[in-house]
Structure 1
Amino acid sequence: MSRPLGIPLSVLDVVPVFEGGSATQALRDTVALAPRVEELGYLRYWVAEHHSTPSLATSAPAILAGRLAAATTTLRVGSGGVLLPNHAPLVVAEQFGTLEALHPGRVDLGLGRAPGTDPHTARALRRAPERGGDDFFHQVAELNGYFAPADPSSPITAVPAADGRPDLWMLGSSPASAELAGSLGLPYAFAHQINPHATAFALDRYRETFRPSPHLDRPRTLISALTTVADTDRAAREVAAPYLLGKIKMRTVRRFDAFPSARTAAGHAYAEAELQFLEELAERQLIGAPDTVRDKLAALVERTGADELMALTVVPGQEERLRSFELLAQAAREVTPGSSEGVSARL
């Protein structure tokens, strides 16, 4: 099936585990979902990295991306992202170089700087706590260097990374990550679902600081947003409710093993502060009927100049999730992607 004519669409999957389910089933559901998303014309499918988080079964993005690539034919697959401070750049280069060799032209390597876990697990991952922004810059540079033609004077070769380079993306949710992506000449993915207030400013900072690189001659951006589309606004809120209730629980409990079921969410007695939190969260994201989401997406793209939307859709039912992607594809056909030149002149 051909891709929608409007803004390109992609998927960010955190492989959520809901009450009554398991991490194993969540992983299998993700693999089953990817070919169906491909049929809808989506461009790419990224999986996140989390550790010691029972509600999110995404601890090994390279392995999962390989399985998704094997289950599809045209869909780009990759990480959203590999949290580079957790890993040796050489190992990441070997893993994603292998993916690129097996699935040429279809692999994305999104890079983030957060630990993706608690301090105890971060230490178990042997992530040096003193690593800061400067070290992350050098890690990215080291990783990128492994995908260059082999240097005869270097004692290290990342096999088979030098044979093919995946698309490297910088991920972030702040102007600092935007500036880093721009200075390195990398495409930039902004987490609107984490920091919606900073989206437009961060993308403008990225464009202002962008320096052309051998692999990218002009700015290239996407925004990821919490996205749930159903036949009506009310139905979309009901479908999204388990994840939204889970967001509340994340703020109040230390251990979080699974997102609530639809039944649990429907029976929850929300406090006034909880309702206000949910209202503010939903208002800034893409939750609603197709017309509602179309208008919100068009306004978001106009404000930010984003070239692509990556949908984070966390709902309990596999068919409800697919239905959301179907309705989003319909709504997005009427939304024109942004411009790499930015939006400042239009505001």
Structure 2
Amino acid sequence: MMALRKWITSSLVLILGIGLILPTMIWASEAEQSGTFTMKVSSQMPNQGDTIEVVIHAQELIDVYAFEINMAYDPTRLTFIDAKSDVPGFSVPPLVKGTNIQIAHTKIGQGKGLEGEQSLFKMHFKAIKNGRSDLTLSSVKLVDSKLISNTKLTNTRTTLTIHDPYHFDDLDSFDWAVEAIEALASAGIVNGTGERQFSPGAAVTRADYLVLLMRALGLQGTDRGEPFDDIEEGVYYAQPVTMSRALGIVQGDESNQFHPKASITREDMMVLTDRAMRVSKHLTVEGDQEDLTAFEDNAMISEYARKPVATLVKIGLVHGYENGVFPVETTNRAQAAVLIYHLQTFIKVKN
């Protein structure tokens, strides 16, 4: 069986390659007339995770004994699964290199090749990332029963628009945060900034992170505590901030100001998270200096934030990136969502 398979593979390679060696002048006019090609896609607006079928169809075939198809695709948005032909004969395993896929098939035995209309291949892809993605049928090489070959440059193109099946369309560059953002959106903990927009790279204010934290932990408390001088009565974050002050999560500065509209730093985000988890009795352990040694920038962590940051690292809520924890950088919406998501996962596992 193995020997037969090797013979068939060798035969197909010979058939597809021999046209480069043999003269083609005698049959050139007939070979050039053979074949026009179309590409039909099962869905041009698939959801991320969907399987897409692409059918390569031929018309006006004249004595086609073997054929080779070259396809260009975007491997960052599509994963190639397989290619199958209903034409009797044998297919060579697909050759996938970079953005190109080459598939080939030949009939077996004596006799004339395909005539007229025929589905040549059915290819399957998985949509893995939302956005626009082109599929291009670059060329089709045909070989007739006399082993005369002709390559047709088709450049037939179709554009897919892959949609995230959830809430937001602007998470392309934030793959690491998609699961967290979508889960929190489904639970009503985070909201978008516009129609199917989350603005993952936008900075998070101190007030907004506190609102998110209180909502995620379901924290309740009195709203009759001392108000901050820089928070207007009736704004959407006034009650959560006042509640968190009564619970000891926030303190404000010496001027009795909270600075609600200032962007929150990564270390302050971790400090507030640590305090809120302790108030809600979800956190009892404490980290230490040893938990920070993996980060090359750990000396930049403020003294008041060192223990909270170390604690969140210790329990796995914070992992950092590029060998750093970047304590004084501004927190963006994606980072805040990931921390809240990890927090909720930690609580579920613990309980």
TM-score by length of 2: 0.21
Higher strand share: 2
TM-score by length of 1: 0.21
